[in-house]
């Protein structure tokens, strides 16, 4: 899958990565579009105080779903233990990239 990575503030790279594995009681969505939002701009400019680099970007997504499909998208993975997670800022988890 194509992944956009901010290697360091101000530096973006497109990289092919393996498709993630689906866990038990999970679904795997094929993302068709990813938008840029304020969080991505902060990542790019280096204004997210808790993030480590490199950081995968893009969590505003579009998929090939139809009306009535039930889906829940959690765009962030977090460890629950780092300083950011302990402060309730799981989107800034320092242990996920």
For the chain, the straight-line distance linking the first and the last C-alpha, in angstroms and rounded, comes to 15
CATH value at residue 44:
3.90.180.10
Looking at the structure of the chain, the number of domains it has is: 1
> What pTM does this model have?
0.61
Does residue 25 belong to any structural domain of this protein?
Answer: yes
Q: List the pLDDT tens digit at each of the 97 positions of the chain.
A: 888 899 999 999 999 999 888 888 877 877 777 788 888 898 899 988 777 889 888 777 766 777 778 776 767 778 889 998 999 988 788 887 5
Enter the tokens of residue 84.
Answer: 């950011």
Q: Phi, psi (5° rounding) for residue 88?
A: 80, 15
Print the domain residue range for 10. 2-92
Query: Do residues 79 and 92 touch, judged by C-beta distance below 8 A?
Result: no
Does residue 97 belong to any structural domain of this protein?
Answer: no
Does residue 39 belong to any structural domain of this protein?
Answer: yes
Does residue 56 belong to any structural domain of this protein?
Answer: yes
Enter the tokens of residue 66.
Answer: 């139809």
């Amino acid at each position: 899958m194509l992944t956009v990575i901010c290697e360091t503030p101000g530096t973006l790279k497109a990289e092919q990565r393996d498709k993630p594995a689906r866990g038990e009681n999970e679904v795997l969505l094929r993302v068709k579009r990813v938008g840029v939002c304020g969080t991505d701009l902060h990542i790019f400019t280096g204004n997210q105080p808790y993030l480590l680099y490199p950081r995968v970007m893009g969590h505003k997504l579009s998929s090939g779903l139809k009306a009535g499909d039930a889906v829940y998208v959690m765009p962030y993975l977090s460890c629950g233990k780092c300083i950011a997670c302990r402060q309730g800022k799981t989107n800034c988890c320092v242990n996920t990239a």
